[in-house]
Chain A
Amino acid sequence: MRGFVRLIVLLGLALVFVAAAYALLVYQPPFAPIPQPQRQSFDPALVARGAQLAAIGSCGVCHTAPSGREFAGGLPLPTPFGTIYSTNITPDHDTGIGAWSLAAFERALRRGVRRDGVYLYPAFPYDHFTLVSDDDAKALYAFLMTREPVRATAPAPRLPFPLNHRLVMYGWNLLFLKPGPFKPDPAHDAIYNRGAYLAEGLGHCGSCHTPRNIFGAEKADEKYSGGEAEGWSAYAINASSPAPVPWTAATLLQYLRHGFNSDHGVARGPMLDVAGNLGTAPNDDLHALSTYIAAQIGTPAAPTPQVEQQVAVQGARGKAVAAASADSQAVPAQGSGASDGGDEGALIYAATCSGCHSGPRAAPFGGIDFALSSNINGPSAKNLVNVVLNGLPATEGKRAPIMPGFANAMDDRQVAALARYLRTRFTDKPAWTDIESSLTDARTALRASEGKPGRSSAAGSTRPGTG
């Protein structure tokens, strides 16, 4: 009898404890809805600063669906756990954030909790935005609350049990959310720290460029060692950077500003949109960001002599042989003739790619020379496969490189042969192990997106042009 009572009491105490824990820790009170703020109530200078910060944070990139209205959400974000859709952050009162106070906004931004107290999934990188300062949060709020309200509700996320219960995110946050504010490192100067604040915070570079564990959280001890986003490989931006020509702050700045650098190539995949947004950021911010990231990449070993020679060739492109007279294909293919040796990949490269990629036309309109390509040197074949299949589609009304896609001209065997050839011909890295799986994923994605305006269509995003 007493044992039984003790059990009941213990259970009761446990329940009280859980209830108390829930009440004190897990439960997030809702913020009362506010009347939609008047546009005129926001200081234009603050709104302008918010616009710049939103560009650095690339808010519109996730919060705008293809052919959708800006910031109205609805973009499907594939995660290993299922698909999550970005939400409407226009100031619509019912379906957007029009009823959110500044405090509600700050909590969502920095703690990942919605106005009504519900936990957000960290597909929204609040684990980075937790570093955003009060001033910057105010500016972002002013910017978003002065956008055009759009009535739109994103589809609900599709996740398996138990993840479909958002409360579980409390546990995730406990383990993986390191709340801000940002603490500058006294060992570095103001510019570095500003870059760190932007990169670690709003820029959320690690969301793509850091590998994740089985819980989908960034691995803190492998920061910037490379990650993945939407079927693309995000290269390591630390000492493991695969770029044959090491990045410097200056070349990074140019890349982020214009979407290309002649020693590296053009931005593609999700980075295209990011560079498009960053291209509008103030120079000081971009300079700080580039300085910080370049410091993560570290002081590089000198590039190999072959790479240096290619850099020289790259630099001479467009000058030695005129674009206008010779067309983009003046230089005969390399690797043709005897050195083919029956290598199908070599033949494909010579016949299909070398015209633009070994031709005389300078970046960004001439194809990148593969000896300089991070793509070919990186640990995953994903990006190469994506670009070979899809090419670089045209951008409405803007000067931007165009590359045809070869998804229909080449079958998987041919793409794989080409990939293997490029890897051995232009790098001394070990063979890729994920060519076939990358092809499967890329073909699946292609079929799913066929005939629908892609992220690269005009409707949604800004594009880096080249002047």
Chain B
Amino acid sequence: MSEMIVSRRAVLAGSGALIFSFSSAAWAQSPAPDANAPGAAALPPPPPLPGSLKHAPFLDSWIRVDADGAITVFSGKAELGQGIKTALLQVAAEQLDANFDRLKIVTADTARTANEGYTAGSHSMQDSGTAIMHAAAQVRQLLIGEAAKRAGAPPERMTTDSGAVVAPNGQRFGYGDLVAGEMLHVQASPQSQLKDPAQYKYLNRRIPRVDIPAKVTGGEAFVQDFRPDGLVHGRIVRPPSYGAVLQSADAAAVEKMPGVIKVVRDGSFLAVIAEREFQAIEAMRALAAAAHWQENAKLPDVAALPALLAGLPSREIKVIDQQRPAPANAKSLSATFTRPYISHGSIGPSCAVAQMQGDALTVWTHTQGVFPDRDAIAEMMRMPKDKVRCIHVQGSGCYGHNGADDAAGDAALLARALPGRPVRVQWTREQELAWEPYGPAMMVKVAAALDDSGKIADWNYELWSNTHSMRPGPAGALIAARYLAEPFPEPKPFAIPMPEGGGDRNSNPIYNFPSMKVLHHFLPEMPIRVSALRSLGAYMNIFSIESFMDELAAGAGTDPVEFRLKHLDDPRAREVVSTAAERFGWSPKPRASTPGHDSNHDSNHGSNIGYGFAFARYKNLAAYCAIACEAEINHETGRARMVRAVAAVDSGQVVNPDGIANQIEGAILQSMSWTLYENVSFDDRRITSVDWATYPILRFSAVPDSMEVHIINRPGLPFLGSGEAGQGPAAAAVANAIANATGIRFRDLPITAERIKAAIGV
């Protein structure tokens, strides 16, 4: 350990208090403690560095200051439209005490940024935001230290202001003047001198998003807009169904079509490259017509998914096992909930640009994970990883693992077929909806017992689900890799362990049940291609739990909001629930008669309005979200529409309240669309929901009249990811409102107008 680190440590420690500031590498270099030395005790392990600093501990992996004072922030996370670029800039500007306008951000590039895995799981603020927060604070301290030296003043008497360190005599040292050489190439320490939230200038502010102006004026904003010189256009001819084998494709006529440069075939991977985009499209059509496939897929019966799930081989995962015997007079209720496969339905079909120059490949892609996608592509292309660079360029909202990674793989193969030229692969709408990996079908069986006082005494929950993640990593996760002449095998599915969870995410209720058992039947066999869809298993688990909580509340004769509060200890959870209820104007309403599948029931005829409430803490670790909503049902058509929704959110320290509100509003509407309309359809061989006619989603006719999001700021508390917090509660709130209006409980998603009408009857 050199002197330099010691002096940095002193600076970072401020007034000389001893703190641990070893990186793991430094720790490894230090001599092993001598247990026999007098007064020696075993040194405790170093505290981990906060956020993603634990994987990328050098400060200049995150912050760079140029000589002119311009500051660049680096993040391994990607802008998906959730506003992360702006939020991270706010965090950096705050802790650096720099002008927001002098900052810019570089995201997700395997050659330039830290490896932060996937931009997923609502981890971006927790991982990247936390890392940048600490890195920025520590950079500021280093700058103060340097300025202090030059000013001949003690560091603790220096202040910072708008990108300059200010000496006690008022002398200003611009940040740009202070940096030199490798000054920031220093490993972070686990603690930082963070700004007092009371003095925040940028956090909890509605700073306008830095990416919106270009998007509304035709600026280059998306990977679809990227047009390097010499760009050519590729189109893939995908098989008609899973596992189809290309028998023949007479490409002779296609090769002669105007503008066609090359037809690429490798096993069952078939594609065409042309000079102009429409030429590529026409060539794709002709090539598809000329291709002959042997189809092998045998898809299950889309109308009998629960039976399918119950029958697939399973591996039992105990999520919770704390059962106690139920009290004597317990009242028991049980229910089964189901959901179909649901599509990401990205509005812009996947796209990527790739270019092979010499032995190096560059891919511009909207994947959520540039490093894992890079690894998969490198493996597929049998290239060394350091010769493959993946650069994230924004695509349309992906809401999880959609076709982006696969499109990047497609582009890589085409780039190899045409070295030197940048090749753009654009998927068609049908290809996106037919080949993306869906959110898996799931089934939930839950049973609970109510004691005499109307509290839940026992809770028994089982769920059946495929994996919710088949992301790269391995090359076989890419479609193209599986259809090559020498194919890569599809990777084995794995269950993401709790507390994050996959299918079992949020299956562990946050409520204080004295007796609980939660069992996850993990189903490795995947007849339909699946992977991560926004909130993973939480959507279904929260829908089921929060619907069933309403059924139990009715069984206990208690108002649904009051019932939840009875079982909630976490004060932040309680506040979110109370806030949503209060702002909505929730008042205990006469409940419809016992909900059930009684289609002759005529309880609410004439009352078309229903009210529903739901709450969850995403993963029981991230943001808290409660939603109260009003829905109207058309008795003649069965059509349900959310009329009004009020949400309350606790995201810890708020960075950009507008960003949070945007995400929650979006989640509510997207979840409503999933819940009321959506299911992937297929026959015994092929996916049949391939466009917006066959996979209808929300349109303006069903948009609510009003929506409010109330954010509870927690100054100084850790950031809590909010991007997925609304999906589950919105689904349950709508379902509960429909049950309130009709007196009928719907447990099978989607809750379509036909199903409602059939249950209501005449």
User: Footprint of B on A, CB under 8 Å?
Assistant: 39, 44, 47-48, 50-51, 60, 70-71, 143, 146-148, 321-332, 360, 365, 394-402, 453, 457-459, 461-462, 465
Cβ of B608 within 8 Å of any chain A Cβ, yes or no, is yes
The reply to whether the CB of B759 lies closer than 8 angstroms to some CB of chain A is: no
Give the chain A neighbours of B696 by CB distance below 8 A. Answer: 394-400
**Least Cβ–Cβ distance between A169 and chain B, in angstroms:** 30
Q: Is B85 an interface residue (CB 8 A)?
A: no
Residue of A nearest to B753 (CB): A397
Q: CB < 8 Å: which of A70, A325, A329, A331 contacts B238?
A: A325
- Chain A residues near B634 (CB, 8 Å)? 70, 459
Tell yes or no: B639 within 8 A of A by CB: yes
Give the distance in Å from the alpha carbon of A430 to the alpha carbon of B608 in the complex.
54
Chain A residues near B286 (CB-CB < 8 A): 330, 332
Q: Give the residue of B602, B605, B690, B701 whose beta carbon is less than 8 angstroms from that of A324.
A: B690
Cross-chain contact A453 with B435 (CB below 8 angstroms):
no
Chain B contact residues: helix, strand, loop or mixed: loop
A323 x B285 contact (CB < 8 A): no
B693: which of A44, A327, A365 is its contact (CB, 8 Å)? Answer: A365
Specify which chain B residues have a CB less than 8 angstroms from the CB of A148 in the assembled complex. Answer: 605-606, 608, 635
- Least Cβ–Cβ distance between A327 and chain B, in angstroms: 5
Bound state CA distance, A402 and B639, in angstroms? 20
Q: Do residues B693 and A397 form an inter-chain contact, with CB atoms below 8 A? A: no
Confirm or deny: B247 has a beta carbon within 8 angstroms of a beta carbon on chain A: no
Q: Complex Cα distance A148/B607, Å?
A: 9
Residues of chain A contacted by B702 (CB below 8 angstroms): 396-397, 458
Tell me whether A331 and B285 are in contact (CB under 8 A).
yes
Within 8 A of A (CB), among B576-614: 600, 602, 605-606, 608
Q: Which residue of A lies closest to B673 (CB)?
A: A397
Asked if A322 meets B293 with Cβ closer than 8 Å, knowing A44-B600, A458-B702, the reply is yes
Residue of A nearest to B677 (CB): A397
User: Which residues of B are at the interface with A, using a C-beta cutoff of 8 A?
Assistant: 237-241, 281-282, 284-286, 288-289, 291, 293, 428-431, 434-435, 600, 602, 605-606, 608, 634-637, 639, 676-677, 681, 686-696, 699, 701-702, 752-754, 761-762
Q: Are A39 and B605 CB-contacts (below 8 A) given A323-B686, A324-B238, A324-B435?
A: yes
Residues of A within 8 A of B677 (CB): 397
Q: Which residues of A contact B239 (CB under 8 A)?
A: 322, 324-325
- Docked CA distance A47–B760 (Å): 13
A321 touches which of B282, B289, B693, B701 (Cβ 8 Å): B289
Residue on B with the closest CB to A395?
B696
A-B pairs with the 9 shortest C-beta distances? A322-B240, A326-B288, A324-B434, A70-B636, A397-B677, A330-B285, A51-B762, A402-B693, A327-B428
Known: A324-B240, A325-B291. A397 touches B676 (CB 8 A): yes
Smallest CB-CB separation from A364: which chain B residue? B693
| Complex CA distance for A399 and B639, rounded to whole angstroms | 15
Q: Are A396 and B699 in contact (CB under 8 A)?
A: yes
Q: A148-B635, A461-B637 in contact; A325/B608 too (CB < 8 A)?
A: no
Q: Are B762 and A325 in contact (CB under 8 A)?
A: no
> In the complex, are the beta carbons of B639 and A458 less than 8 A apart?
yes
Residue of A nearest to B270 (CB): A325
Q: How far is the CA of A461 from the CA of B687 in the complex (A)?
A: 29
A332 and B608: CB pair below 8 A?
A: no
Q: Which residue of A lies closest to B238 (CB)?
A: A325
Write out the residue numbers on chain A whose beta carbons fall within 8 Å of the beta carbon of B687: 324
| Distance in Å: Cβ of B695 to nearest Cβ of chain A | 8
Are A324 and B686 closer than 8 Å at their CB atoms? yes
- Using Cβ atoms and an 8 Å threshold, which residues of chain A touch B435? 324
Pairwise interchain contact B762-A401, C-beta atoms closer than 8 A:
no
- For residue A453, which residues in chain B have a CB less than 8 angstroms away from its CB? 701
On chain A, the residues within 8 Å of B701 by CB distance are 396, 453, 457-459
A48 B639 Cβ-Cβ under 8 A: no
Of A50, A323, A396, the contact of B639 (CB 8 Å cutoff): A396
Residues of A within 8 Å of B689, CB to CB, are 399
Contact B693 A330 (CB under 8 A): no
Asked whether, in the complex, the Cβ of B240 is within 8 Å of the Cβ of A325, the reply is yes
Question: In the complex, what residue of chain A is closest to B239 when comparing beta carbons?
Answer: A325
B676 pairs with A321, CB closer than 8 A: no
Partner pick for A48 among B241, B606, B761, CB 8 A cutoff:
B761
User: Contacts of B694 on A, CB cut-off 8 Å?
Assistant: 365, 399
Bound state CA distance, A50 and B636, in angstroms? 13
B246 → chain A, closest Cβ, in Å? 10
Give the distance in Å from the alpha carbon of A332 to the alpha carbon of B692 in the complex: 23
User: Which residues of the other chain, B, contact A461 by a CB distance below 8 angstroms?
Assistant: 637
Assuming the contacts A70-B634, A458-B702, asked whether A323 and B688 have C-beta atoms less than 8 A apart, the reply is yes
- Asked if A325 contacts B691 (CB within 8 A), the reply is no
CB-CB nearest in chain A for B638: A462
Question: Chain B CB within 10 Å — which of A146, A330, A365 has the most?
Answer: A330
Looking across the interface, which residue of chain B has its beta carbon closest to that of A326?
B288
Q: A322-B240, A324-B430 are in contact. Are A331 and B289 (CB under 8 A)?
A: yes
- Report the minimal beta-carbon distance from B287 to chain A, rounded to whole angstroms: 9
Q: Which residues of A contact B686 (CB under 8 A)?
A: 322-324
| A332→B285 contact, CB < 8 A | yes
A contact residues around B692 at 8 Å (CB): 394, 402
Q: A322-B293, A330-B285 are in contact. List 19 more A-B contacts (CB 8 A).
A: A48-B761, A324-B238, A324-B434, A324-B435, A325-B239, A325-B240, A325-B293, A326-B237, A326-B285, A326-B288, A327-B428, A328-B430, A330-B286, A331-B289, A396-B696, A396-B701, A397-B696, A400-B693, A458-B702
Q: Are B289 and A330 in contact (CB under 8 A)?
A: yes
A449 CB to nearest chain B CB (Å): 15
Other-chain residue from A48, A323, A394 in contact with B699 (beta carbon distance below 8 A): A394
Q: Find the residue from A48, A322, A394, A402 having the highest chain B CB count within 10 A.
A: A322
A contact residues around B237 at 8 Å (CB): 325-326
Q: How far is the CA of A365 from the CA of B696 in the complex (A)?
A: 13
Q: Are A332 and B753 in contact (CB under 8 A)?
A: no
CB distance from B253 to the nearest CB of A (A): 10
18 A-B pairs whose Cβ atoms sit less than 8 Å apart in the complex: A51-B762, A70-B635, A70-B636, A71-B636, A148-B635, A323-B240, A324-B241, A324-B430, A327-B288, A330-B286, A394-B692, A396-B696, A397-B677, A402-B692, A402-B693, A453-B701, A457-B701, A458-B639
Bound: A274/B289 CA distance, A:
38
Query: Which residues of the partner chain B approach A327 to less than 8 Å between Cβ atoms?
Result: 284-285, 288, 428-431
* Separation of A70 and B633 alpha carbons in the complex (Å): 12
The residues of B that contact A48 with a CB separation of less than 8 Å are 761-762
Nearest B residue to A47 via CB reads B762
Nearest B residue to A322, CB-CB: B240
Closest to B757 in A: A462
Q: How far is the CA of A453 from the CA of B639 in the complex (A)?
A: 16
Residues in chain B near residue A462, CB distance under 8 A: 636-637
- Whether B691 and A365, one on each chain, are in contact in the complex, defined by CB atoms closer than 8 angstroms, is yes
Q: Chain A residue with minimal CB distance to B761?
A: A48
Which residues on B sit within 8 Å (CB–CB) of A397? 639, 676-677, 696, 702, 752-753
- Chain B residues positioned under 8 Å from A143 (CB to CB): 762
Closest to B693 in A: A402
In the assembly, what is the distance between CA of A338 and CA of B288, in Å?
24
How many Å from the CB of A46 to the closest CB on chain B?
10
Q: Are A401 and B693 in contact (CB under 8 A)?
A: yes
Q: For residue A365, give the distance in angstroms from its CB to the closest CB of chain B.
A: 5
Residues in A whose Cβ lies below 8 Å from that of B434? 323-324
Chain A residues in 8 Å Cβ range of B639: 396-397, 458
- A82 CB → nearest B CB, Å: 29
A330 lies within 8 A of B636 (CB): no
CB neighbours of B693 from chain A (8 A): 365, 394, 399-402
With the chains together, A51 CA to B600 CA distance in Å?
A: 15
Bound Cα distance A327, B284 (Å):
9
Q: A322 contacts which of B241, B608, B762 (Cβ < 8 Å)?
A: B241
- In the complex, the answer to whether B431 meets A332 with C-beta atoms within 8 Å is no
Cβ B288 vs Cβ A325 within 8 A: yes
Instruction: Tell me the bound Cα distance from A51 to B636 in angstroms.
Output: 10
Q: Report B126 CB to chain A, min CB distance, Å.
A: 36
**A325 surroundings in chain B (CB, below 8 A):** 237-240, 288, 291, 293, 430-431
Q: How far is the CA of A321 from the CA of B295 in the complex (A)?
A: 12
